[in-house]
Amino acid sequence: MTHSLFPQARPDTASDLPPSRALRVAVAASLLLGGIAPGQLSWAASTDISNTPLINATVSVKPNLMFILDNSGSMAWDFLPDDTGDRGAYSVWSSHCNGAAFNPSTSTSPYALPKTADGRNYPHQALNAAWPDGFQPTLSSAALVSASLNTDTPDPEATTPVTLEATVTLSYGALFLGVGDAIAVYENGDDTHWMVGTVVERSGSGTRSSSIYTYKLRFTFSSFRKGTVSNWVLGKLRTTNLSATSNDPATHYYYSYTGTQTPQSWAYDSAGNFDTSSTFVNECLSTIGSGPGSSKFSQVLISSLSAADQQRYANWYAYYRTRILMMRSGAGRAMFALDNRYRVGFTTINKSSSFNTDVTANLGSFADIADFGADQKALFFSNLYGASVNGSTPLRRALAKVGRYYGNKFSSQTDPVQN
């Protein structure tokens, strides 16, 4: 049987392991659990664990990696650990307490831009118009349009940024846009393929209720270079103004910490509840304005930050604010470094709020293990960035499913192991 991190050819026998080897593995595992090292057995050879990272290793058989994404409902939360989501307490608003909160330290939290499948950076976010979800921009209104758009064109990272301009005509009743509006288009039927831009011109005639308007659109970024696509959903992009300056619920801010406790020092009692004898716990769980936290935390308005830190905050908001956003950003940057020397697949633990039983290709929930060339990498990133978040956390069942998949136990599956 091939392990996801240690590639080995599967023996050509009816079972995954020869009986003698299977017995030795089972005995060794039992002894390890019982505290007896396998090295104490006379027949057990030493295992040579390589000091070379897998990504730098030269192997004759490609590693077969299955990426399991936790897409449970809690991945949409903007706080870590669990049970710290009281928005009336300091715990949510300070990175001292909350592992998902904005961290003002540039050195520890640069909030690097996510990567596309072909290595481009996602765009920096505008402070006054940041996307709530940097991987799946949402539309406040939309209409179907037929326009041949070359998704390979936009290149904001070129020495002179390259944009794509297009003209579409719509009736007022279908969609009404203004010059300067931020817009996005999704490929009809594929929510992982989109472009963003602005309306640069509008013209029309007749009464407003019956007018036909022609819009000139300028696109600046494409999530995936897919050549020319003709069928789109066009709409006004939903954004958030993070530059509010009044001290009201719309204001964006965080709390800085000036005490002496070590960050993220959550402590628990034997029942799994917060240890209320811990100074750290009591400070973080304090109601805003009340002790002991009130003397340790200070509110910082985003409007008071330097331009560089405001940019970091806007990027954090779109790409790192929730558990799933930071997972996509971090995992995408890490997985991009792999190439066709590896074989990679994708699965989620849930699908439509229930356990994900897929072992056949299904965008957003499963992709077979295959050589990680350009096509497979594009498919992987579409799955990673487009998977929906819902359901519980059946981790053991997800691991068991992948184990059976490696063992080629599903009648409808493709054998993932390279022979």
Alpha carbon distances (Å) from 262 to 87, 291, 318: 22, 18, 28
Give bridge partners of residue 268 from the DSSP assignment. 274
Q: What's the rounded Cα separation, in Å, for the pair 39 and 46?
A: 7
Q: Give the pLDDT score at 245.
A: 66
Q: What's the rounded Cα separation, in Å, for the pair 320 and 54?
A: 27
The DSSP H or E segment spanning 186 is: strand 182-187
Question: In whole angstroms, what separates CA 23 from the centre of its chain?
Answer: 40
Q: Give the pLDDT score at 37.
A: 46
Q: What's the rounded Cα separation, in Å, for the pair 225 and 160?
A: 19
Q: What's the rounded Cα separation, in Å, for the pair 260 and 253?
A: 22
3-class secondary structure, 288: coil
Q: Are 336 and 119 in contact (CB under 8 A)?
A: yes
Q: What's the rounded Cα separation, in Å, for the pair 347 and 354?
A: 14
Q: Give the pLDDT score at 48.
A: 75
Q: Give the pLDDT score at 249.
A: 54
Within 13 Å and on the Cβ side, how many CA atoms surround 84? 29
Q: Give the pLDDT score at 19.
A: 42
Q: Are 196 and 219 in contact (CB under 8 A)?
A: yes
Q: Are 405 and 343 in contact (CB under 8 A)?
A: no
Q: Are 67 and 368 in contact (CB under 8 A)?
A: no
Q: Give the pLDDT score at 246.
A: 61
* Selection from 120, 123, 136, 113 nearest residue 193 by Cα: 136
Q: Give the pLDDT score at 54.
A: 64
Dihedral sign of CA atoms 327, 330, 331, 333 in order = positive
Q: Give the pLDDT score at 7.
A: 40
Q: Give the pLDDT score at 272.
A: 87
Structure-token pair, residue 373:
């060339």
pTM: 0.83
Q: What are the pLDDT tens digits along the chain (419 aa)?
A: 443 333 443 444 444 444 444 444 443 444 334 444 444 444 556 777 777 776 666 666 888 999 999 999 999 999 999 988 899 999 999 999 999 999 999 888 899 999 999 999 999 999 999 999 999 999 998 999 999 999 999 988 888 889 999 999 988 788 999 999 999 999 998 889 999 999 999 998 655 666 889 999 999 999 999 999 999 999 999 999 998 766 555 679 999 999 999 999 998 888 888 998 999 999 999 999 999 999 999 999 999 999 999 999 999 999 999 999 999 999 999 999 999 999 999 999 998 888 888 898 888 999 999 999 999 999 999 999 999 999 999 999 999 999 999 999 998 898 998 76
Q: Give the pLDDT score at 21.
A: 42
Dihedral sign of CA atoms 143, 146, 152, 155 in order = negative
Q: Are 228 and 148 in contact (CB under 8 A)?
A: yes
